[in-house]
Every structure is written in structure tokens, then in C-alpha cells.
Amino acid sequence: MWCSRAAVRQVALGLGATQRAMATLPRVYVSRKVPPQGLEILRKSAQVQIELWDSDDPVPRQELLKKVKGCDGLLCVLTEKIDAELLNAAGPKLKVVSTMSVGFDHLSLDELKKRGIRVGYTPEVLTDAVAELTVALLLTTSRRLIEATHEAKTGGWGTWRTLWLCGYELANSTVGIFGLGRIGVAIAERLKPFKVNKFIYTDVAPRPELAEAIQAEYVSMDELARRSDFLAVCCALTPDTQGICNKNLFSKMKNTSIFINTSRGGVVNQEDLYEALSSGQIAGAGLDVTTPEPLPTSHLLFSLKNCVILPHIASASYTTRNDMSALAANNLLAGLRGEPMPKELQL
Ligand SMILES: O=C(O)C(=O)CO
């Protein structure tokens, strides 16, 4: 941990005007060792006193509750639940919560709004990385790459066989997008050169300005399930989307279709997905997100050859994670100055 402790100790010892000035700066708690760009921005700003949970692992809840007390700002990541309990523990000085994530299902927005706390998040900077990973996961799942490398490494590779390890190709396919936002469009743009025949999407309402870029057709959820050869979930997790990918949806999908989720695990009913995959109702699934995270290694989904599970790495490129960290830091600083944040969530 750097900065504030030493400063506070020096003030107590009666040292230096600079240190005394520092002690009057807004106090912020950074709940994870975020990538260096963000920490540099906070440190170089000289506008805040920082206390950092200097670890790659989440801060224990009790420690977080203790540390946020009296803070003006909080920079957090998606594993921290920012709810009434935490906001009460922080107390009335808390003005800004800045999350290093595009998703905000870990934040109790009603509670934040009620207290007049402003919220920063990190959209856009991760769109390319997430779209890229989604395409990689889709191809890995549809062309059975994990099974194939396993067979090659473990002696299952006999002679060349006509239908061995066959999968499904993108050429001439229909790709469905559930939740068309920036990420959905970016995925479609990357898939287009694979000669996809048609993009379809569903959302709470048509989004013609986004759909136009990829010539996607707006359809109902039922139609999305029925027509998609590849169905990519890109929606936010909300009370309306919780568990929406369930038996009802899977039962309408083709036996040859591939289901991909890089949004949030909570949108999928995993028992129903297991059933759909193990019964052959759908051909395969690629998941970057699950419930819970990490998914226990004993989970039934891990027993399936046609289910590829990644440990929530869609935005995990060095550039993107640093950009997210920098944006989260800039959101925090702007919020504390009372200025518009570069990316503020409208509550
Ligand atoms: O930003 C998010 O919401 C993620 O899931 C990680 O990139």
C-alpha cells in the first residue's frame, strides 16, 4: 500500500507542509491492484489520498467495509458488491464510485442514486477485446478446438477420418445476437468476413442506428432461437434478463446451433443449458462467464466435451485492462472534482 498511511503518520509527527496538505485531500479506497496506468493517474494527480488493496485477489468483505469508512471515493472492480451495507459503512462523505468494468450488475443503482453518489464505468475501451475473444470462443467451440488438441496430445489422433471432429462453419450461417450494443456490433463486424449470410438480433426494442451498420434484422426472442446457427449473448444482466437463456430458449434452438455467452453468467439457467448440451438439443456452448465465478471444477458443465468454459477473460488484453484502469481513475478524479466524468452512468 502506498501514500496515505505514510502521509498520515508524518502529519501526526508534525512533519512537512506538503504532507499536511495531503491529509486534507479527498480520501479514496482502491479495492484491487488495478493495472498501472490507473494507479499512475491517481498518484500523479496529487488530488487524492489513496489507500490500495495491493493484491490480485479480492479484498475480504469485512476489510472493505472497514476501509471505505469516511472515504470520498471508491474505485472498485466487478467482484465487489456495492450495496446498502457497503454504502452505509462508507458513510455520507462518499461522493463517487468508479468501477473498472462495463458491467454494473454488482452495483445497487437505486441505493447509489438515493444517496446522490455518482457512478463511473468503463464502456467502449473494452469493446474490441471482448469482440475478439467472443469470435475466438465461437470458433473454438464450433470447430471443437479444445477436443482436437486434447485428442492430438493424448493419442486419440489415429488416421485421417472423414467425419472425425467435424464441427459447424460460419459460411452461409445465420448469427443471432441477443442484446445489440457496441459489443454485439463489433462481434458482427468481425464475423462478417467469415461469409455469414445473415445477422439477426433481439433487444428490448429495435436499435436501427446500430443494426444498420451490420444490416441486422430485428426479430423476436423466439425467432432468434429458431433461426440462429450461432447465438451470441451480449446483453447486460438485469432483473429482466436474469435466467432468460433457459429451457424455453434452448428447446427452440436447432440441434446444430452453438450458444455463446460473454456477457454475464446470470443470464443463463445453467441446469437447463447442461440438459440442452447433454441431450443434444444444441450442438455446443462457449461460456466466458458463469454462475458462480469461479465455477467449481466439479460442476457438471465441465464434464461436457461440447462446452468450452473460459475464466471470464473477454477483456483480458494488456492494452484494454490498462485502458479500463485509466478510465476508471479519470472517472473517479473528475467525479471528485465535481466535473462531468469521461464515462458516467446516468442513474
Ligand atoms: O467489464 C466488465 O464488465 C467485465 O465483465 C470484464 O471486462
Q: Which residue has the least CA distance to atom 3 on ligand 1?
A: 103
Nearest to 137 by CA among 52, 46, 263: 263
Q: Which residue has the least CA distance to atom 2 on ligand 1?
A: 101
- CA of 81 from ligand 1 middle (Å) equals 14
Question: Is 106 noted as a catalytic residue in this protein?
Answer: no
| Predicted confidence (pLDDT) per residue in 304-319, tens digit | 999 999 999 999 999 9
Whether the pTM exceeds 0.90: the reply is: yes
- CA of 75 from ligand 1 middle (Å) equals 14
Strand pairing category for 174-178 and 307-309? unpaired
pLDDT at 9: 41
Q: Would the CB of 315 count as within 6 Å of ligand 1?
A: yes
For the CA atoms of 301, 306, 311, 316, the dihedral, rounded to the nearest 10 degrees, stands at -160
pLDDT at 22: 72
pLDDT at 17: 66
pLDDT at 15 over 70: no
ipTM for the complex? 0.98
Q: Which residue has the least CA distance to atom 7 on ligand 1?
A: 315
Catalytic residue among 106, 150, 299, 312: 312
Q: Which residue has the least CA distance to atom 1 on ligand 1?
A: 101
- CA of 119 from ligand 1 middle (Å) equals 15
Minimum-distance ligand 1 atom for the alpha carbon of 129: 7
- CA of 103 from ligand 1 middle (Å) equals 6
Burial class of residue 33, CB neighbours in 10 A (0-12, 13-18, 19+): middle
pLDDT at 21 over 70: no
Mean pLDDT value across residues 196-219: 97
- The Cα–Cα gap between 76 and 82 comes to 9
Confidence of residue 114 (pLDDT cuts 50, 70, 90): very high
